[in-house]
Chain A
Amino acid sequence: MTVTPAPAGTRTVLALRGISKRFGAVQALKNIELDVRAGEVLALVGDNGAGKSTLVKTIAGVYTADDGTMEFDGQDVRVGSPAEAQQLGIATVFQDLALCDNLDVVANLYLGRELRKGRALDEVEMERSSWALLRQLSAKIPSVRIPVASLSGGQRQTVAIARSLLGDPKVVMLDEPTAALGVAQTAEVLNLVERLRERGLAVILISHNMADVMAVADRVAVLRLGRNNGVFVVSDTKTQDIIAAITGATDNAVSERAARRTREDGTAS
């Protein structure tokens, strides 16, 4: 298991210490430790049911942790609701995107933080800056005045990601952002992720797609059955090590040795 040295000059924005969450008789998360640094893409991987989504929802304030603490910018924080998480600067794009189908793109982008002129909504300014934002992300949305229901999956994903950026967050969590996307749109989203990193944001990327993870992430944190199962630096790790950690092939000494041997074979040949 590789323990990563903190790269010089990067600052830990979000730190989880011993986070646990149970649903009835199921221990969904157990003693999770996680450090997320500014200007870094941290991929969160794990099999189905490993607790990725639960962890994201806990950080985002949808669930409250049963145990453990969370530090944001060096301060102990308690996130009791999604609104509090947003105020702190933690933006989340959920797997189900959480868009209102009956509202148009502009209304969805600014939902919960509408711009106002006096008491009334400032529709013109919202529409103008929606276009500006979508252009910045090179997003292809034909019209921002059509209901979100009429957009394709990729367009909806784009809207959801664009929305997460509006609040000027410090941490952006993307829950399987490329799961439903075509080749070009996946590339666009990955570009987008890199652009977020360039802006100095901390990005938590959840994905099942190892190619995406290896392409864009700086570090990979593996969850297995609700527990930490290693953190890897992408630049000096192989995909199969991460896959081994995901599937649990490294759970015992035997498989660990076997994995090491195949790795050595791989490098030798």
Chain B
Amino acid sequence: MTLHGSEIRPQDAPGPAGTGTGNGNGAAAELPADLQDERLIASHGLSGAVSAFTARLRSGDLGSVPVVVGLIIIWAVFQIANSSFLSSRNLVNLTLQTTSVGVIAIGIVLVLLLGEIDLSVGSVSGLSAAVLGVTFVNQGWPLVLSLLAGVALGLVIGLFYGALYTRFGVPSFVITLAGLLGFLGLQLLVLGKEGSLNLPFDSALVGFATRSFLSPALAYGLVAAVVAVYVLTRLRGRAARAAAGLSAAPTSMIAIKGAALAVVLLIPVIILNGDRGVSSMFLLFVGLVVATDLAVRRTRWGRSVVAVGGNVEAARRAGINVRMIYLSVFAACSTFAAVGGLLAAARLVAVNQSSGGADVNLNAIAAAVIGGTSLFGGRGSVYSALLGALVIMSISNGLALLSLDSSVRYMVTAGVLLIAVTIDSLSRRSRQAHGRA
């Protein structure tokens, strides 16, 4: 990496170092503003993009590559073990199973970006499901009101965590460990003696979670729209960069990326349409991932979250309202947990004492970490919730197909999680060695 190595700049004629308004413009003036430094390794066109990508991988900036590779391996293994694993029918099931854990994992990604943790997402999801069940089934509230109550509960819990953290500086690990126990207790209390409630099968919520699928035409239309929006925004961004005198990606690159996106979206849609189709609930999940990802990467709030995760003190001195960021992220995490709990209840058509219990908690956290979000804060992508949840649920789904019981599932999931965390730690070390920490 000669990108940043030495301080010596042999070609940099000292010139009038004192007067100094823009020496270094001269010969390189025809180049875009961001490519004028002679120490930059020129990378042009497609081959340049490929070599930049491999250089990034080598330096330990792995992004979502390990989880994609892992997912391919896992799917290949299960497909060999049981040929119905990659069938349309099973993959539709997989999308349905992934949704609730995935939605909870979105919140976990946000908390991890700050370098914090929320261990209580399972309990919070169970509690919001219990509130939904009791208010909707027992009290006869309108569905919308019950759903809002569940979501609002998550929001309030998150604000409570955030307040504890920012006011008293209690470590999030301990706060949410207390929440894990406390809200499990509250869930049992809310559910009362019978401890189990069945949601009416013909309610809109259950219909949405179990019977609502996009028509093939709609699904294909959506893919076309997404690709079109992607290419158009890329082209507009390119025009804006060119207008500002900055380097812009070649149109061929945009075309290739657009085509790749189309393929990546079309193949699953074609396969899913072979059975019931793309589930509305899964679409909601993907929509939440995309929206949250845009919020993290493209808004001031998201930039602040990543900055706080990288260096709290620097963020504070830059004038970022750090308390507000912690508060909003804890609130968002618990809210996503509540929404995940509602979706899980809707899919199971029931709420009971084990809603949100067992492995929901750790599955969601494992999904975020397996997806490539660093436990050390400041690094990660919301898409890791999607990829990680797919990995976790693929394992669970595949082992169920092979009629292996949960003993094996737990151990395999643990192994994958361990591998993911080890990769995270190793790549972090490598990034530091390559100056990308």
Q: Is A237 an interface residue (CB 8 A)?
A: no
Answer whether A149 and B435 are a contact pair too, CB < 8 Å, given A121-B300, A138-B20: yes
Inter-chain CA distance A188–B23, complex, in Å, is: 12
* Stretch with Cβ within 8 A of A (4 or more), from B136-144, B304-312, B398-406: B304-312
Q: Is B34 an interface residue (CB 8 A)?
A: yes
Distance of A46 from chain B, by nearest CB (Å): 22
Q: Is A266 an interface residue (CB 8 A)?
A: no
Residue contact A152 to B321, C-beta cutoff 8 Å: no
Answer whether A102 and B310 are a contact pair too, CB < 8 Å, given A111-B315, A138-B23: yes
Residue contact B378 to A135, C-beta cutoff 8 Å: no
B432 to chain A: closest residue by CB: A149
Distance of A159 from chain B, by nearest CB (Å): 12
Inter-chain CA distance A146–B2, complex, in Å, is: 13
Residue contact B317 to A62, C-beta cutoff 8 Å: yes
Residue contact A98 to B4, C-beta cutoff 8 Å: no
Inter-chain CA distance A145–B37, complex, in Å, is: 13
B309 to chain A: closest residue by CB: A102
Tally of contact residues, A, Cβ under 8 A: 53
Q: Is B274 an interface residue (CB 8 A)?
A: no
Q: Is B202 an interface residue (CB 8 A)?
A: no
Residue contact A138 to B317, C-beta cutoff 8 Å: no
Please give, as numbers and ranges, the residues of chain A lying within 8 Å of B40 by CB-CB distance: 142-143
Distance of B65 from chain A, by nearest CB (Å): 18
Distance of B306 from chain A, by nearest CB (Å): 7
Answer whether A127 and B34 are a contact pair too, CB < 8 Å, given A100-B378, A121-B300, A191-B20: yes
A152 to chain B: closest residue by CB: B7
Distance of A166 from chain B, by nearest CB (Å): 11
Answer whether A82 and B317 are a contact pair too, CB < 8 Å, given A127-B246, A128-B244, A144-B34: yes
Answer whether A102 and B244 are a contact pair too, CB < 8 Å, given A116-B300, A142-B39: no
Answer whether A149 and B437 are a contact pair too, CB < 8 Å, given A98-B313, A98-B314, A103-B310: yes
Interface size class of B (residues with CB under 8 A): 35 or more
Answer whether A150 and B321 are a contact pair too, CB < 8 Å, given A120-B299, A121-B299, A188-B17: no
A108-147 contacts to B, CB under 8 A, are 111-114, 116, 119-121, 124-125, 127-128, 131, 135-138, 140-147
Q: Is A58 an interface residue (CB 8 A)?
A: no
Residue contact A131 to B34, C-beta cutoff 8 Å: yes
Prevailing SS type, chain A contact patch: loop
Q: Is A86 an interface residue (CB 8 A)?
A: yes
Q: Is B44 an interface residue (CB 8 A)?
A: no
Q: Is A83 an interface residue (CB 8 A)?
A: yes
Answer whether A138 and B21 are a contact pair too, CB < 8 Å, given A86-B319, A101-B310: yes
Distance of B432 from chain A, by nearest CB (Å): 8
Residue contact B300 to A143, C-beta cutoff 8 Å: no
Answer whether A143 and B299 are a contact pair too, CB < 8 Å, given A138-B17, A149-B435: no
Residue contact A141 to B316, C-beta cutoff 8 Å: no
Answer whether A120 and B298 are a contact pair too, CB < 8 Å, given A138-B24, A191-B17: yes
Distance of B53 from chain A, by nearest CB (Å): 15
Residue contact B25 to A135, C-beta cutoff 8 Å: yes
Our pick among B3, B33, B436, B437 for the contact of A142 (Cβ within 8 Å) is B3
Interface centre among A81, A97, A101, A119 (most CB of B within 10 A): A101
Inter-chain CA distance A11–B357, complex, in Å, is: 67
Q: Is B241 an interface residue (CB 8 A)?
A: yes
Residue contact A114 to B300, C-beta cutoff 8 Å: yes
Distance of A163 from chain B, by nearest CB (Å): 8
B10-55 contacts to A, CB under 8 A, are 12, 14, 17-18, 20-25, 33-34, 37, 39-40
Q: Is B185 an interface residue (CB 8 A)?
A: no
Please give, as numbers and ranges, the residues of chain A lying within 8 Å of B39 by CB-CB distance: 142
Q: Is B245 an interface residue (CB 8 A)?
A: yes
Answer whether A82 and B316 are a contact pair too, CB < 8 Å, given A102-B309, A140-B24: yes
Interface centre among B14, B24, B244, B318 (most CB of A within 10 A): B318
B239 to chain A: closest residue by CB: A124
Residue contact B4 to A152, C-beta cutoff 8 Å: yes
Inter-chain CA distance A125–B298, complex, in Å, is: 14
A138 to chain B: closest residue by CB: B20
Residue contact B241 to A124, C-beta cutoff 8 Å: yes
Answer whether A191 and B320 are a contact pair too, CB < 8 Å, given A138-B24, A147-B437: no
20 residue pairs from A and B, CB less than 8 Å apart: A82-B318, A83-B321, A98-B311, A100-B378, A101-B310, A111-B307, A111-B314, A120-B294, A127-B241, A131-B33, A135-B25, A137-B20, A138-B22, A141-B37, A143-B3, A149-B431, A149-B432, A151-B4, A191-B17, A191-B18
**10 interchain residue pairs of minimum CB distance:** A150-B435, A112-B318, A102-B310, A138-B20, A83-B319, A112-B319, A98-B314, A100-B310, A128-B244, A111-B318
Chain B residues in the interface with A (C-beta under 8 A): 3-4, 7, 9, 12, 14, 17-18, 20-25, 33-34, 37, 39-40, 237, 240-241, 244-246, 294, 298-300, 303-304, 306-307, 309-311, 313-321, 378-379, 431-432, 434-437
Apart from A127-B241, A191-B18, 12 more pairs, CB < 8 Å: A86-B319, A100-B310, A103-B307, A120-B299, A121-B298, A124-B246, A125-B244, A131-B33, A142-B40, A145-B34, A154-B7, A187-B18
